[in-house]
Amino acid sequence: MSTSGKVIKCKAAIAWEPKKPFSIEEVEVAPPKAHEVRIKILATGICRSDDHVMSGALTVPFPIILGHEAAGIVESVGEGVTCVKPGDKVIPLFVPQCGECSSCVSSKGNLCTTNDLGAVRGLMKDGTTRFTCKGKQIHQFISTSTFTEYTVVHETAVVKIDAGAPLEKVCLIGCGFSTGYGAALNTAKVERGSTCAVFGLGGVGLSVVMGCKAAGASRIIGVDINKDKFAKAKELGATECINPQDFTKPIEDVLKELTGGNGVDYSFEVIGRTDTMTAALASCHMNYGMSVIVGVPPSASQITYPAMLLFTGRTWKGSIFGGWKSKDSVPKLVADYMGKKFNLDALITHTMPFDKINEGFELLRAGKSIV
């Protein structure tokens, strides 16, 4: 029996308030309105950004259905949707691509102005939500909301992918892999023979390592306080790994010593802490070094740093979704995975049923997964 045009009742993991576990609830998912798409989510990843919401570090409206790194199949489409059809395999896009705003039109931009990042509203374009639970409206998360069996997104926030793609693998292209890989290739534009330092060796950090290797970097130094992550980092391309807790001096001084006093050509902060952002900047070459902020900072955070760090010529950049224009790039990245140009399997440590989502987050917080 077709569900098109009807409310679907399904399971979702609701965050009713910060600092509390997810609650698996039955939710009602309304049918898509004009220019919207309802997706059956078949695989979703746990990302550190979701945990930042749960800890209260990122400010969002509650209650909310989190999750933004996923893949699924189109269940139905609203009026006027032509980019996908029921049955298509798709990836939701937390960075939409409208194709018309200044960022979409510019060759230099990728952060579509229709995004719901920054000051998260948690609503569709018409100011309402498609989720209801126990008579309450449930907010949506950064254009996606994937911790649910069904979700509704705007047509600018979804893209069709290869019908043969394994969804449990390519869901990582919806956030973590693309964010890290692109930070090296698109944002920093790492050059062959260069020296790189990657602060934070979770899933996104490891993807930065993969990007640096693909670009031909001759030296890739992983930096993390969890030594258990070093073996995987080296497997994926890190030439050496260091733990800041093994040294009494600041990590930027350690990295300068390791590079003959010069500092690295490129550094990447993939943690989301302001102190490591400043350390990463200080660790790159004083004149032509570039440092890229990849980790999501807490909503209220501010950075204080010596102005001379930038005056001497360093470049400090941010990177969101690896600089990729989402609709244009995600299908190509999936095709590259299918063509064995990179390996996503190494980034997956656990595969768990949906109702074990709280256990999945505990693994992340304990450092037992590589997210």
As annotated, the active-site residues are 47, 49, 52, 68, 175
Strand partners, 64: 15, 139
Cβ atoms within 10 Å, residue 273? 16
| Gap between the Cα atoms of 305 and 277, Å rounded | 10
Strand partners, 316: 291
Instruction: Output the 3-class SS for 298-348.
Output: CCCCCCCCCCHHHHCCCEEEECCHHHCCHHHHHHHHHHHHHCCCCCCHHHC
The DSSP 8-state label assigned to residue 148 in this structure reads B
Q: CA 249 → CA 178, 306, 347, distances in Å?
A: 33, 18, 32
Cβ atoms within 10 Å, residue 52? 20
Torsion angle (degrees, nearest 10) of CA 182, 184, 186, 192: -140
Under 8 Å between Cβ of 287 and 264: no
* Alpha-helical segments (H) within the chain: 48-55, 102-105, 167-170, 176-182, 203-215, 230-236, 251-258, 274-283, 308-311, 326-338, 357-365
| Gap between the Cα atoms of 14 and 122, Å rounded | 13
In the structure encoding, which two tokens stand for residue 279, read together? 């350390």
| Gap between the Cα atoms of 195 and 212, Å rounded | 9
3-class DSSP state of 127? coil
Q: Which amino acid is at 269?
A: E
In the structure encoding, which two tokens stand for residue 96, read together? 């939409």
Omega before 31 within 30 of 0, i.e. cis? no
